[in-house]
Amino acid sequence: MNHDNRTPAHAPLPAPSAPLGTKAPAPGQLPAQGGGEQTRIHNIGYRSYDGPRLGRAYARRSLFAQSLKGAYGLGRSAKSKVLPMIIFAVMCIPALVMVAVAVTTKLNDLPVEYTRYAIIMQAVIGLFLAGQAPQSVSRDLRFRTVPLYFSRPVERVDYVVAKFGAMATALFILTASPLLILYIGSLLAKMDFSDQTAGLAQGLVSVALLSVLFGGIGLVLAAFTPRRGFGVAAVIAVLTISVGAVTTLQGIAWATDNLGAIEWLGLFSPITLIDGVQTAFLGATSSFPNESGPGAGPGAVYLLTVLALIAGSYAVLMRRYRRVGL
């Protein structure tokens, strides 16, 4: 095989008398003999590619970007844009309303803390995750596209990191956007700049942690349910059942004056974990009954649990893709 005589993909069309490169010209590829400019060659046969090959890191970035855009339906069918866009709007509209109210009535404080917003909107976040996590990973598994990635420079770790990163980033965009709206509104309403900035920073840290945690949980569930419908159901079920169980038990604990149990029960659902971490470390007001969120000591347990869940999600995904590779 001789690559040298093939025409580079990006070279201008060869001059009519120049060798056209491929070994056996395609039918339409006749050497034009002195025809000059008017003899355009339409079927130029096979062109080889001598341009850059950007390798593994580029492929990983491309996969990340494609997955992130895909989470909002960009680059997909019009139908698949509907749900994420509606969810994004639903997520932001309350913030816009609060800002409008705050600006017109000249409030001194936002009606909601930055750290509280995501807790209030947890169902919306769960819905987004349930829709998009299966979309991101179930398709590749169900259509058995994964081996095509691993037969390329992309490796298992690249695939998992790109998908995990994209899901977490998509969730972060969803949860951080309303916080930014609140922040801009608070400045327009001439609230205290340093208070608001600190509040925003705390809120952003909290939703960043939430995004990575939820992203990991959603992807793990989706990666084990190749049928997309089951994936959606599994994510919704895990999120709602866990939080439902935790709040019910917390309510019972409160009603039975068992206040010590409340702060530990929060360890058993993702959103109450985030609530506990931000109560302990990010100056948030706990949404637990009686506001009896964890202090610094139990808070450390919360934080460690969150980090362990994130690391666990990553490890499970890596294992999962070891089994489906080629």
Partner 1 sequence: MIATESLSKRFPRVTALDRLSLDIGPGVTGLVGANGAGKSTMIKILLGLSPATEGRAEVLGLDVATSGGAIRERVGYMPEHDCLPADVSATEFVVHMARMSGLPPTAARERTADTLRHVGLYEERYRPIGGYSTGMKQRVKLAQALVHDPKLVLLDEPTNGLDPVGRDEMLGLIRRVWTDFGISVLVTSHLLGELERTCDHVVVIDGGRLLRSSSTSDFTQATATLAIEVTDTDAHPDGTKALREALTAAGVALHAGEEEGLPGAGHILLLDAEGEETYDIVRDTVAELGLGLVRMEQRRHRIAEVFRAEAPADAERPADTHRPADAGRPAQEVQSR
- Residue among 276, 295, 303 nearest 287 (CA): 276
Instruction: Please select the residue that binds partner 1; options are 19, 35, 111, 147, rule is CB under 8 A.
Output: 147
- Residue among 225, 224, 215, 103 nearest 168 (CA): 215
CA 18 to CA 4: how far, in whole Å?
14
Instruction: Please select the residue that binds partner 1; options are 14, 28, 35, 75, rule is CB under 8 A.
Output: 75
What track of x and - describes contact with partner 1 for positions 77 through 106 (by CB under 8 A)? Answer: x-----------------------------
Query: 89 Cβ partners below 8 Å, 6+ apart?
Result: none
Task: Identify the DSSP state of 7.
Answer: P
**What is the closest distance, in whole angstroms, from the C-beta atom of residue 217 to partner 1 in the complex?**
24
Binding piece for partner 1, criterion CB under 8 A, among 46-54, 103-111, 197-205, 235-243:
46-54
Should residue 24 be labelled a site residue for partner 1 when binding is judged by CB under 8 A?
Answer: yes
Instruction: Please select the residue that binds partner 1; options are 107, 150, 173, 307, rule is CB under 8 A.
Output: 150
Number of residues that bind partner 1 (CB under 8 A): 45
Should residue 28 be labelled a site residue for partner 1 when binding is judged by CB under 8 A?
Answer: no
SS3 category, 8: strand
Should residue 157 be labelled a site residue for partner 1 when binding is judged by CB under 8 A?
Answer: no
Query: 281 Cβ partners below 8 Å, 6+ apart?
Result: 296, 299, 303
CA 153 to CA 140: how far, in whole Å?
17
CA 150 to CA 326: how far, in whole Å?
7
**What is the closest distance, in whole angstroms, from the C-beta atom of residue 268 to partner 1 in the complex?**
36
Should residue 10 be labelled a site residue for partner 1 when binding is judged by CB under 8 A?
Answer: yes
Should residue 55 be labelled a site residue for partner 1 when binding is judged by CB under 8 A?
Answer: yes
Radius of gyration of the chain (CA): 27
CA 247 to CA 257: how far, in whole Å?
15
Should residue 148 be labelled a site residue for partner 1 when binding is judged by CB under 8 A?
Answer: yes
Which CB sits closer to partner 1, 59 or 274?
Answer: 59
Q: Which residues bind partner 1 (CB under 8 A)?
A: 1-3, 6, 9-10, 22-24, 26, 45-49, 51-56, 58-59, 62-63, 66, 75-77, 139-140, 143-145, 147-155, 325-326
